A and B are shown apart, each in its own frame.
Chain A
Amino acid sequence: MASHYEAPIRKPLVLGDKGYHDVSVDIAAPVERRANKQWWIVFSIALAAFLWGIGCIVYTISTGIGTWGLNKTVGWAWDITNFVWWVGIGHAGTLISAVLLLFRQKWRMAINRSAEAMTIFSVIQAGLFPIIHMGRPWLGYWVLPIPNQFGSLWVNFNSPLLWDVFAISTYLSVSLVFWWTGLLPDFAMIRDRAVKPFQKKIYSLVSFGWTGRAKDWQRFEEVSLVLAGLATPLVLSVHTIVSFDFATSVIPGWHTTIFPPYFVAGAIFSGFAMVQTLLIIMRKVCRLEAYITVQHIELMNIVIMITGSIVGCAYITELFIAWYSGVEYEQYAFLNRATGPYWWSYLLMMSCNVLSPQIMWFKKIRTSIVVSFIISIVVNIGMWFERFVIIVTSLHRDYLPSSWTMFSPTFVDIGIFIGTIGFFFTLFLLYARTFPVIAQAEVKSILKSSGERYKKLRDAGQPLYQINKGANVTSSVTEAESTTDDDTGTEKVSSLLDTLGSFDATKETADDLKKVKGIGPQMEQTLNQIGIFTFAQVSRMTEKEYNLLDEITGSFPGRAQRDDWAGQANRLNNKD
């Protein structure tokens, strides 16, 4: 395959001996599998946190903002801290899906879907705060310039808080459209694989009748590119506008021109850290190690390192300018950050944001999954404190010493934050079970250029595929008819029975295997021929056994795994 040249220095992005079908199976597996116990446990915890948060929100809105730890001097604290934090986290998703698309980064294919999901879910969390921190949230619609009966009373377009409204709502809607457009081919894939009518119906609805014609694909690519081109300035402007909430003020420590790029860098920094946290878990839980490889983690770590350094530069710039400015208020603001009553938050922010990403310079560390995971969490803690430090330390001591005060949050402040974390994970966990978490269409588009299997074939000078006419069809039929006669067949059967355990007709009674969904009379007969008679045997099947079984029977490949025969049999076995 000389037609394609790829530099040999590039490492494969899809590991293992994966073909197109394997990609579909691997990505559809979490959707088609049933949720396991761990998922339910984690989901319940997230849901409980979410419900607790709802309780706190209802309490705040019905009782008043006074339930929070805010005071007359510090009017913004946890609410806006969390808002900016969540918005910042959301930025990585768009960055991965849009900016990396513009830069033709192939490694984004495996992570963009989840990163965008993370964007959507965290922007939803962020969107809560501007509403619930209002004194009268039921009049929140007044921020919209709607013709009305107050003599068409309008909003003032000079406030960055109003720009926030437009920025966040536009950002959420564009991200949502971008995300959903990318999901269409993947939903269609799940739709076409769906066995149960309900799933089929649902995925038919959400895939909008995607048929994957050449014209569709051509337009799909164009739309993706246009949306990526739109989303890139959007992602930069949204956090810029969020930074204007502070930068346009007159508060020493807020009034800075460095905020827009510095906030955006911080957003990418914290966003990538969150993607890192989620994907390191997801690749394990959803068994996607072949797609989200150590190389992906390393590349994300490099982005974290770079943006962390940018943020570090910004911190130093701020300090320099404060000294250089000769403005006593400005100088005191930074002195107060470093040595005032909130010195610990400043120290946490500095150590988490400036120092911790610097260890990524060591290849050993940035390719270590455990360290990456820890650092990703540390970075998000640091970035939370960055927003806290900027907001609270600038407010609690400014121009008039008679207005100096302290801030401490109440349980409601904290409860709402925990609630948003719970809500985020509730959404993300539901997403991970119902959405194709990797853009299979995109992964398939890089499979032959960046897949390990094809790279090896290319290196060996072999063709990337071979056509063997009808071989599959005939062999499967003959195999199904004469499984036990076949030499290789008997070998496989014996290795299968080794793990499943053989059936002793004198001691045990055969179960009605037809009770397992997916096993019909025909399949039961086949299984009996192999020597599988009981639920206990079926329940011991794992992926390896499924594959063996598929090879032996040759019919309905992947069916057993999809229907989770082992799980079903296990339940049936326990029932007896």
Chain B
Amino acid sequence: MNNLSKIGFVFGLVVMLASCKSDNAPNYQYFPDMYEPVGYETYGKVSFLPDGMAAMQPAENTIPRGFMPNSIPNDLEGRELARLQPSPLDSLQSEANLATGKELYDIYCAICHGNQGNGQGNLVKREKILGVPSYDDAARNITVGSTYHVIYYGLNSMGSYAGQLNHDERWQVSEYVMKLKEDLTK
């Protein structure tokens, strides 16, 4: 009995110790030797930079290796110009490009435009936003180049997706959008 109460006492102590952990705060650490980074984390906070952010804007008009800036400007003229732009992707790989394009489309676009591209995405069905056109809208007459331009700069209520998708991905999505348009007009 005496032994049992001792075991109970120790067990109680362990339970009490365990209750010191709080879900609303980071847990206690034992000698956090290399837990905190010495270098700068991408999204880390630093005190000495203007915005307190380690991530700073690159200087204007600089071009990193392996990147080409979009030469078509974001205005009405540019949009017309873009309409004629062909896809630079390898047409022999179109099968794979379309598959990737579908994946990306389902992630970034389908929430508003709908999986079929008919403007009946989830947000539209739930009436969170309105006025999303279908791809087969004759008045709009979208092409692969104009789709790319819209993804790059955004149009009206739609924002730019240049930050989410890279150059190849934008063209892959554009090609997939053209395929959806075909399917709708059929």
Contacts and interface: CB of A to CB of B under 8 A. Distances in A.
Size band of the interface chain B makes with A:
under 10
A138 B33 CA distance: 11
A11 interface: no
A139 B31 CA distance: 9
Interface in B23-63: 30-31, 33
B160 to A, nearest CB: 43
A136 interface: yes
B30 to A, nearest CB: 8
A475 B94 CA distance: 124
A138 B31 CA distance: 8
Interface in A94-139: 136, 138-139
Interface string B93-117: 0000000000000000000000000
A429 to B, nearest CB: 35
A136 B30 CA distance: 12
Contacts of A139: 31
Nearest to B30: A138
B126 to A, nearest CB: 43
Nearest to B31: A138
Contacts of A138: 30-31
Nearest to A138: B31
Contacts of B30: 138
A453 B111 CA distance: 108
Task: Give chain B's interface secondary structure class.
Answer: loop
Interface string B105-141: 0000000000000000000000000000000000000
Contacts of A136: 31, 33
A136 B32 CA distance: 12
B116 to A, nearest CB: 46
Contacts of B31: 136, 138-139
B31 to A, nearest CB: 5
Interface string B51-79: 00000000000000000000000000000
B29 to A, nearest CB: 12
Interface in A123-179: 136, 138-139
A361 B160 CA distance: 98
A139 B33 CA distance: 10
Nearest to B33: A136
A136 B33 CA distance: 9
Nearest to A136: B33
Nearest to A139: B31
B28 to A, nearest CB: 14
Contacts of B33: 136
A454 B126 CA distance: 111
A153 to B, nearest CB: 15
A97 B31 CA distance: 43
A136 B34 CA distance: 12
A138 B30 CA distance: 9
Interface in B2-31: 30-31
A6 to B, nearest CB: 51
A107 B80 CA distance: 111
A64 to B, nearest CB: 12
A2 to B, nearest CB: 56
B180 to A, nearest CB: 46
A543 B181 CA distance: 118
A243 to B, nearest CB: 33
A441 B31 CA distance: 50
A136 B31 CA distance: 10
A454 B31 CA distance: 66
A297 to B, nearest CB: 50
A164 B127 CA distance: 72
A255 B163 CA distance: 61
A550 B111 CA distance: 108
B99 to A, nearest CB: 36
B142 to A, nearest CB: 52
B32 to A, nearest CB: 11
A65 to B, nearest CB: 15
A121 to B, nearest CB: 30
A146 to B, nearest CB: 14
A497 B26 CA distance: 82
A527 to B, nearest CB: 50
A467 to B, nearest CB: 49
A139 B30 CA distance: 10
A138 B29 CA distance: 13
Interface in A375-398: none
B175 to A, nearest CB: 44
B63 to A, nearest CB: 44
A132 B33 CA distance: 17
A504 B183 CA distance: 136
B150 to A, nearest CB: 48
5 contacts: A136-B31, A136-B33, A138-B30, A138-B31, A139-B31
Interface of B: 30-31, 33
- The 5 A-B pairs at the shortest CB distance, nearest first, are namely A138-B31, A136-B33, A139-B31, A136-B31, A138-B30
